[in-house]
Amino acid sequence: MTTRRAFARALAFAPMIGPAFAQERDYPGRTVQLVVGFPAGQASDIGARLLARAMADDLGQAVYVDNKPGATGIIAHQFVKNAAADGYTVLFGSTATLAINSSLFRKLPYDPLKDFAPVSLLWVSPMFLVAAPGLPFGSFAEAVAYVKANPGKTTYGSGGSGSTQHIAMELLKKELGLDMMHVPYKGTPGMLNDLIAGRVDFAFESASAIVPYIQAGSVKALATSVAARLPIMPDLPTIAEQGLPGFEAMTWAALVAPAGTPAPVVARLNESAGKALASREMTDNFARTYAQPRPGTPADLAAFLRTENAKWAKAVAASGAQVD
């Protein structure tokens, strides 16, 4: 009787699991929504749209970008957290939204490590430590000595409190024991104008925003914040080379889905993202923005997110920055 009962239960359960397995096997069978927590036209949005087009070519279904900006990415991340875990709603996340926000906000309504299924790291973008052109030094070591000789008197700018650039400088300050004053701006353009004019002394800034100014001689480049020197400026040392082994602070983009998304669907999205990153459109965009493709497995991204959350938590704590 026990065997018959178990067999009957299995037969009853089969119709329920059959469609689910079929959906996973046939994925994707309709349009995929890529949610982006940035306004249309920003650099991140442009990258996401190029990714969506390339993935659509591979998946054989449209991938449309749905911009849900606001609240430092929280609106977009809440939306995807609450979406069906079927692979038809995915999220374009970033350093700020998937690594910094968890320490910056006291009551963040999503957990970047628990509420999303990692799909793939997409790319990383180097940052540059730069200084105003009129300051009396020309190297990273000389700049550090200058700041230490003038405790509390030097300033650094950022595009806003809690931005990746702000927290990256706080990480550097913590590692070197520097005393500098933060000057937050409402966006990067205003900060760069004041840096060039010498109204603020230092900044960390992304390659796409700052490289033209470095090449024009409008600011001094002191170091890059990634692990290896960059082909665009092979003579510029990294911070890691100059007394801080292992130091790395960069912006990045990642693709995630709602937690519970079936593994075969995640695997298909991962495969498609990897192919998209090698497409001509994406390669050309990397050349323009100095970003570096960094595809990998979902497990790779999961480990990366754990490391990044721990690293940025220390920097946020050092900065004293807090929202709400």
pLDDT band at 72 (very low <50, low <70, confident <90, very high): confident
8 by DSSP, 3-state: which?
helix
Rounded Cα distance between 122 and 317, Å, is: 27
For residues 32-44, average pLDDT: 90
Rounded Cα distance between 93 and 253, Å, is: 6
- The closest alpha carbon to 169, from 112, 232, 159, 215, belongs to 159
For residues 42-65, average pLDDT: 95
- The secondary element (H helix, E strand) that includes residue 124 is strand 116-125
Burial class (CB in 10 A: 0-12, 13-18, 19+), 231: exposed
pLDDT tens column, 220-249: 999 999 888 998 999 999 999 998 998 988
User: What is the CATH number assigned to the segment(s) 127-242?
Assistant: 3.40.190.10
- The closest alpha carbon to 248, from 219, 231, 223, 212, belongs to 223
Are 30-125+250-319 and 127-242 equal in CATH topology?
Answer: yes
**Which has the higher per-residue pLDDT, 295 or 164?**
295
User: What is the CATH number assigned to the segment(s) 30-125+250-319?
Assistant: 3.40.190.150
**Which has the higher per-residue pLDDT, 3 or 52?**
52
Where do the domains of the chain lie? 30-125+250-319, 127-242
Radius of gyration of the chain (CA): 22
pLDDT tens column, 159-181: 888 888 898 999 899 899 999 99
Q: What is the pTM of this model?
A: 0.83
Question: In the prediction, which pLDDT does 4 show?
Answer: 54
Of 43-47, 109-113, 212-216, 318-322, the range with the lowest mean pLDDT is: 318-322
